[in-house]
Amino acid sequence: MRRPDPSVDTHEDDAQAECPYCGSTHTEQEHPKGPSLCRSMHFCNDCGEPFETFG
């Protein structure tokens, strides 16, 4: 039996940041390498540019 997990099926707005270069939301969040807890690294799948978002 498989129970629906609400933590898997939810798509939060902050999960996909908007690319500042092309405006696409087809982005992936990457894990930060440093102790930068106030920022998050993202990678745009459309234009291939990495970018940071704050907050």
Residues that bind Zn ion (CB under 5 A): 19, 21-22, 24, 44, 46-47
CB of 48 to Zn ion, least distance (A): 7
d(CA 36, CA 26): 23
Q: Which is nearer to Zn ion, 3 or 54 (CB)?
A: 54
Helices (H) and strands (E) in the chain, counts: 1, 3
Instruction: Decide if 27 contacts 16 (C-beta within 8 A).
Output: yes
Q: Which is nearer to Zn ion, 21 or 36 (CB)?
A: 21
